[in-house]
Structure 1
């Protein structure tokens, strides 16, 4: 029953009378009701991901679970957008983020919510500085669980300020609400959705043994298809051009990264086709 802490996550708060309206105008998903959570992102006007995050509704506002290295930039940008809105924006110093998966139960005193991307990922929880937790797993175990499910993570599988939400599979993981009102970058995201122009995606590959280092080029017939992201023994995630992958499979070309052969796998939770993919592990 594994419980682990995310060492590189941070917690922020958005409180105040205008908090709902404020975040609804900025993020890719609708703001949740108290006790519920959503996966969302703040985008550049060009539609690229500044930071992805979990937004948890609480009485009087929201709590944000996000990468620690994106915290300062996110708070700065939210403050610039605030204008006259009645909201308070601040980091919650000393707060920690954890996850319990399988049959594990979050510790007493934690603020918990089911991962809104995929229930199999488990239950995330926020811990105030004075809340103790007994751990029986480390973050490496959590990362292996995530990779096994084929779920991307920012900073490991895609680069912030460079990737579109569709490339990070956010449209498949409930991170974009295509029916909500305007938000920053919406026009680009909506165009990609309605025109079906998301040619680059993060997808899983089977590999024999340990995966190559993140950033290693993936090649077929001398042409670059994409780059290696996070991985564990036997499997990796990669940001890949689907059209080039299709061409390679149709031509019978081997797909390689640092001399190792890669075989595309199917994503059980995704609606888009992965050329040449078999059943997911």
Structure 2
């Protein structure tokens, strides 16, 4: 495995599907749902429709991500897909502001079975930035959201648990570990509960993945997020790395002189291959060699560009 395309091909095979039990759903219902979220989410909620979803974040007043999410619209329901332990945290945070709007908030995680699907990409070009609007297909049986088209076509499929048959099928669906690695390669991450209020959106490249609108107006944390973008005081950014061998390595990324230059954000392993999303605190072009402890690791390309991010 000496190229990125070989890495992806070795993971993808003929396609990968898995039940995604890590994800949960926060439902917002009511006539003020869009207006309410417009003041809380980093993405532009006016661009949400039944045919286009969004990627965004709910931030604290300090601009730190409380939870980030993919959001879809199904009739009167606005559904925020996030890591399941964060549903309650986000719910409690949003309730403080919801009292001023005609909305109801609830945890809808138990109503849906969520599947992740990965197949061959239909695009070979690397865009400067990913689209804000994500394709959505809604049928009587399911809702399908395309979250990425590079380096693979990645989708989330939501099925309502209306009968025992749906639950039984999903309970017996295999959960191949290569799906975790393929998800990391999309470089459009969802934070885990231990990362809540620890990272700024730009540290996850959300300014390049459609997760931040700089034209929508005010939302909680917007002043800090905008200041970070236009004053450019932080070099922190998400990067992809891979290596073969032991998965139990140092969480701190080092240069050849042993200086700390980043930390592991998420990682996964399949067979002998490891992939990690790492938050760098330097420009990756400033360093030739990278190490996690004594393990040499290889910088891999992102499915979008970070140059000229201002």
- Partner of 1:99 in structure 2? 116
Contact 1:230–1:236, Cα closer than 8 Å, also in 2:
yes
- Partner of 1:237 in structure 2? 277
String of CA shifts for 1:168-216, please: whole Å, max 9, x gaps. Answer: 1111211111111211111111111112333111101232334444x62
Return the TM-score normalized by structure 1. 0.84
- Aligned runs of 1:85-234 on 2, under 5 Å? 85-94=101-110, 95-102=112-119, 109-115=141-147, 120-130=152-162, 132=166, 133=169, 137-138=174-175, 140-155=177-192, 159-213=195-249, 216-220=251-255, 221-228=257-264, 229-232=266-269, 233-234=273-274
Shift of 1:99: 1.8
Query: Are the structure 2 counterparts of residues 37 and 247 from structure 1 closer, same or farther at C-alpha, using a change threshold of 3 Å?
Result: closer
Query: Are the structure 2 counterparts of residues 91 and 170 from structure 1 closer, same or farther at C-alpha, using a change threshold of 3 Å?
Result: same
Shift of 1:67: 0.8
Shift of 1:42: 0.2
Shift of 1:270: 2.4
Contact 2:50–2:72, Cα closer than 8 Å, also in 1:
yes
Q: Of 51, 54, 69, which aligns to 1:53?
A: 69
Contact 2:214–2:226, Cα closer than 8 Å, also in 1:
yes
Distance of 1:193 and 1:10 partners within structure 2: 30
Q: Of 66, 83, 90, which aligns to 1:67?
A: 83
Contact 1:152–1:169, Cα closer than 8 Å, also in 2:
no
Structure 2 unaligned blocks of 5 or more:
1-14, 121-136
Distance of 1:10 and 1:147 partners within structure 2: 18
Query: Are the structure 2 counterparts of residues 41 and 118 from structure 1 closer, same or farther at C-alpha, using a change threshold of 3 Å?
Result: farther
Query: Are the structure 2 counterparts of residues 269 and 121 from structure 1 closer, same or farther at C-alpha, using a change threshold of 3 Å?
Result: same
Distance of 2:173 and 2:24 partners within structure 1: 21
Query: Are the structure 2 counterparts of residues 120 and 181 from structure 1 closer, same or farther at C-alpha, using a change threshold of 3 Å?
Result: farther
Distance of 1:114 and 1:240 partners within structure 2: 27
Distance of 1:83 and 1:39 partners within structure 2: 25
- Partner of 2:304 in structure 1? 269
Query: Are the structure 2 counterparts of residues 101 and 268 from structure 1 closer, same or farther at C-alpha, using a change threshold of 3 Å?
Result: closer
Shift of 1:248: 4.2
Contact 1:211–1:236, Cα closer than 8 Å, also in 2:
no
The structure whose RCO (Cα within 8 Å, separation 6+) is larger is 2
Aligned residues: 266
- Partner of 2:43 in structure 1? 29
Contact 2:55–2:210, Cα closer than 8 Å, also in 1:
yes
Greater Cα shift, 166-175 or 204-213: 204-213
Distance of 2:199 and 2:31 partners within structure 1: 33
Distance of 1:30 and 1:247 partners within structure 2: 34
Distance of 1:36 and 1:261 partners within structure 2: 41
Question: In structure 2, the residue corresponding to 1:146 is in which secondary structure?
Answer: helix
Question: In structure 2, the residue corresponding to 1:96 is in which secondary structure?
Answer: strand
